[in-house]
Amino acid sequence: MGTKKETLEFINGARLCFGCGACAAACPAQALRVTPDADGFSYPEIDFAKCVKCGKCRKACPVNADFPPRTDDPEFCSVRHKERAVREKSTSGGAFTALSDAVLARGGAVAGAVWTSDLQVRHTIGSDPAARDAMRGSKYVQSDTAGIFPEVKKLLDSGKEVLFSGTPCQVAALYAFLGEKGGSEGLVTVDFICHGSPSPKVFQAYLRELAAQRGSAVRQVRCRDGKLGCVPMRMGVDFADGSTYLEDCDHDPYFRLFLSGIINRRACAACPYTRVRRNSDLTIADNWRFAAFAPEWDDNTGVSTLLVNTPRGAALLKDAAEALEIRKCTLADIDQHYLHRPGGLHPDRDLFFRALRKHGFAAAAADFTRPRPLWRRIRSRLLKLLGCGPGNEEKL
C-alpha cells in the first residue's frame, strides 16, 4: 500500500487534496481507498500491487481539471423564501429549498449533505421533499462524498434530472468525475461561498465533550439553530434526556474554532474556488448586508445571496421564482471575503491538532480560543520567514 503522500504524488503531483474521493470512485481496480489521517481528514491511498495504471484516478481528480475560465461575472441577487417556516428551518433565506423544490416537482433528484444516525455528515441523493429536508441546514464539518458521484452519474445516464449541492470543490470533483457527462442537460449544480471544511474528528470530539458534560447522549445537531433567529449564529444540540444546548457563535467553542479557520482542511488555506466567477450553475450564501437595500426583510429569519453563474442556473431560478422574493443586486450588496481569496493557513493549526491528540477537545479548544500568547506569535513569524508557515500557502 502506498502512503498518502506517494498516492497524491501519483494522482496529481501535488499535496493538494480536497478529500472528495472522486479518484477512488473512478478506479476500476478497487486499488484506491480513502481513509482519515491522524487529524480526521480523508485522503486516498493506492495499493500499487492492484493498480493497472489506467490513469482514471488522475482524470477524475479536480486538482488536475482544467475548467475553462468564465468570461462574465454572474448575476448577483438576494432572495428569501416566501414561507417564513421554510426560512426558519434553513441556514439563511431558504434559497436551496426553492431551487430543489423546482427540480423535485419535475421528478428530478437532489443531492446534498445530511446527518447520519451517528451524527456524521455525508452526501446522499433523494427524490422526495423529506429526503431534501434532511439536506437543509449548514453542517459545519466536512461531508463524506463516498459513492455519491457514481450515483449521480447513474441517474443522469437513466435520463433523470439531478440537482447537486455541495462545497465548490465537491462540485468541481463531480464535473471532473463525470468528464463530458458533466455537460449533460440533466445536471444543475449549486455550490456556496465557502469558508472551509472542518475536521470530522474535531466535531466528534466536541460532541463527546458536550455529551460528557451533560451526562446524556447527543441526539440531534443544528449548526445554525434558527429557534431564536438567524443572528447571532447559534449551535443547537438536543440530548437524549430531552434537554437542549443552545450557544451563540462567540461562546460555543466549536463555532469559535470553525470561524477562526484553525480546524479547516489544509487545502482550504489555498482554496482555488474562492472567486466571483465560479464553476457551478448557481451559488448560495448568507447575506449580511441586505438591510441597506431591503430593510423590510429584517425579521431575523435570514436572507440568501444567490449568484446566477450560467444560463442553466438562470433557467432553474426562473422555475423556482414563484416561491421566492428576489432582488437584483450589485457585487457590493452581497460581497464577502471568500468571494475573492482563501483564508490562508491559520498560524497555530498544527499546534491545535497536536494539542487535540495529546490533551483532548476541551483543553485544546480552551487554549486555542484565547488571545495568542507571545511565543506563538514569534513562532509563526519565524516559520513565515523560513518559508514553511502562513504566507507560503502555495507550497503547502
Dist. CA 284–CA 301, nearest whole Å: 16
112's contact among ligand SF4, ligand FAD, none, with CB below 5 to 8 A by partner kind, is: ligand FAD
Q: Which three cell numbers stand for residue 101?
A: 423544490
| Closer residue to ligand FAD in complex, CB, 23/194 | 194
92's contact among ligand FAD, ligand SF4, none, with CB below 5 to 8 A by partner kind, is: ligand FAD
285's contact among ligand FAD, ligand SF4, none, with CB below 5 to 8 A by partner kind, is: ligand FAD
In 3-state terms, what secondary structure has residue 354? Answer: helix
Query: Binding of ligand FAD at residue 91 (CB under 6 A)?
Result: yes
Provide DSSP, 174-238: HHHHHGGGGG-TTEEEEEE-----B-HHHHHHHHHHHHHHHTS-EEEEETT--TT-SSS-EEEEE
Query: Binding of ligand FAD at residue 278 (CB under 6 A)?
Result: no
Query: Binding of ligand FAD at residue 108 (CB under 6 A)?
Result: no
Dist. CA 138–CA 134, nearest whole Å: 11
Dist. CA 107–CA 196, nearest whole Å: 32
In 3-state terms, what secondary structure has residue 307? Answer: strand
193's contact among ligand FAD, ligand SF4, none, with CB below 5 to 8 A by partner kind, is: ligand FAD
Query: Binding of ligand SF4 at residue 308 (CB under 6 A)?
Result: no
Taking alpha carbons only, the member of 197, 198, 199, 190 closest to residue 285 is 190
Binding-site member from 7, 274, 304, 380 for ligand FAD (CB under 6 A)? 304
121's contact among ligand SF4, ligand FAD, none, with CB below 5 to 8 A by partner kind, is: ligand FAD
Residue 196, CA distances (Å) to 48, 115, 393 in order = 31, 18, 14
Interaction residues for ligand SF4, span 171-230 (CB under 6 A): 173, 194, 196-197
Dist. CA 318–CA 371, nearest whole Å: 48
113's contact among ligand SF4, ligand FAD, none, with CB below 5 to 8 A by partner kind, is: ligand FAD
Task: State in angstroms the smallest separation of the CB of 53 from ligand SF4.
Answer: 5
Q: Which three cell numbers stand for residue 210?
A: 458536550
Query: Binding of ligand FAD at residue 193 (CB under 6 A)?
Result: yes
Taking alpha carbons only, the member of 23, 54, 360, 74 closest to residue 204 is 360
Binding-site member from 45, 63, 114, 141 for ligand SF4 (CB under 6 A)? 63
61's contact among ligand FAD, ligand SF4, none, with CB below 5 to 8 A by partner kind, is: ligand SF4
Cβ–Cβ under 8 Å, residues 305 and 354: no
Query: Binding of ligand FAD at residue 97 (CB under 6 A)?
Result: yes
Dist. CA 375–CA 262, nearest whole Å: 17
Task: State in angstroms the smallest separation of the CB of 21 from ligand SF4.
Answer: 5
Task: State in angstroms the smallest separation of the CB of 379 from ligand FAD.
Answer: 27
For ligand FAD, which stretch binds (CB under 6 A), given 55-63, 89-97, 173-181, 241-249? 89-97
Query: Binding of ligand FAD at residue 290 (CB under 6 A)?
Result: no
Query: Binding of ligand FAD at residue 64 (CB under 6 A)?
Result: no
The tally of CA atoms less than 13 A away on the side-chain side of residue 240 is: 8
For residue 232, is the peptide bond before it cis, meaning its omega torsion is within 30 degrees of 0?
Answer: yes
| Closer residue to ligand SF4 in complex, CB, 8/148 | 8
For ligand FAD, which stretch binds (CB under 6 A), given 47-55, 91-99, 317-325, 363-371? 91-99
Cα first-last separation, the chain = 24
Binding-site member from 21, 137, 168, 253 for ligand FAD (CB under 6 A)? 137
Please list, residue by residue across 193-209, b when 16 or more beta carbons sit within 10 angstroms of its beta carbon and e when fewer do. bbbbbbbbbbbbbbbeb
Residues found near ligand FAD in the complex (CB under 6 A): 90-97, 112-113, 121, 135-141, 143, 165-167, 192-195, 197, 284-286, 304, 336, 338
Residues found near ligand SF4 in the complex (CB under 6 A): 8, 11-12, 17-23, 26-27, 29, 31-32, 44, 46, 51-57, 60-63, 167-169, 173, 194, 196-197, 265, 267-268, 271, 273
